[in-house]
Amino acid sequence: MTRAPLIDAFLARSGWDTAVRHPLAGDASARRYIRLIAQDGAQAMLMDAPPETGEDTAPFVRVARHLARAGFSAPAILDWDEPAGLILMEDLGDGLVSAICAEDQGHEPMIYAATARMLAALHLEPVPEWADRYDPPRMAEMLGPFHEYAVPMNRGGISDMERAMEDTLRAHALADPVLILRDFHAENLLWLPERDGHARIGLLDFQDALAGDPTYDLASLFQDARRDVSAEASRAATEAFCDATGHSHDAVVAGVAVQGAQRNLRILGIFARLTRAGKPKYAPLVPRVEHHLAACLAHPACTDLRRALARAAPGYLAVHA
């Protein structure tokens, strides 16, 4: 069934039916985005997330409103039709951090440090009641895609890996849980220099937000599957985060390694699943993620996890680490 009539009716009620529509590139989900440009030059963004594909717009709206109320630059929600899976929102522009840093890498340390300070400010906010816990047991369980699609293991190996992952996460938890945005990387962040303070960082794709360790989003930011982040930018961001929070440098670096190990193992499994499902565009990203994983596992905080992986998948580290 075509969604055109639903979209037309939604835009008509919102007063955007005469706007020119410019579809944007999609991602791994069934969502798509359409930039709307009105006759007077005003712009807005339409998210089309068909419910019949399993998409649910409620989490995006809930997190966006929470972030906006706290003073962060999530897109303002202009209109929403939950049953139809349609959101009309503020258009934050084209200033993706990934594009800005690709054009001039000299901007990268400054922008990444500003992003880390924004995270530190976000972590001062109370965790909303609706945010589910991304705690060590759940994070260990979420390694499922890795041993199901990337590196098949027997039941004993899976149990060993999950136990080591959970113990490592517990041992190196930085602080009490905070709101984590999870898919937190340069293609989901915008640089908005015309705004002030933490609002200079525009936020996208945060609908999977949970309550987790403060270093999780730092790991996501530094260990980007889609681009290489300079050591200078990572250092600048780490220093900015430590200065803003008072956490020790060593504890933050260890936390990033541990959270990054879990995240990269899961990403490798997801990419393997997507490749099998006929979405090969993620396969070229695998070597970079494997490099990130190897760097995480080389940190002393991940020694037990590294040993568990070596037992569960003999030879894997020799090839990929």
This prediction has a pTM of 0.94
Could you list the beta-strand ranges (E) of the chain. 20-23, 32-37, 43-48, 77-81, 86-90, 178-180, 189-191, 201-203, 210-212
List 179's β-bridge partners, or say none: 211
Check residue 28 and give its pLDDT.
59
Is the pLDDT at 318 greater than 80? The verdict is no
Is the pLDDT at 1 greater than 60? The verdict is no
The pLDDT tens digits for 34-62 are 999 999 999 999 999 999 999 999 999 99
Q: Which domains, from first to last, does the chain contain?
A: 4-90 (3.30.200.20), 97-320 (3.90.1200.10)
Burial label, 293 (beta-carbon count in 10 A; 0-12, 13-18, 19+): buried
Pairing assessment for the beta strands 43-48 and 77-81 based on DSSP bridges: unpaired
**Starting at the edge strand that comes first in sequence, how are the strands of the sheet with 86-90 ordered?**
20-23, 32-37, 43-48, 86-90, 77-81
Check residue 26 and give its pLDDT.
65
Report residue 268 CA to chain centroid gap. Answer: 15
Q: Which helix (H) or strand (E) holds 122?
A: helix 108-122
Check residue 315 and give its pLDDT.
78
The pLDDT tens digits for 90-133 are 999 999 999 999 999 999 999 999 999 999 999 999 999 999 99
Is the pLDDT at 320 greater than 70? The verdict is no
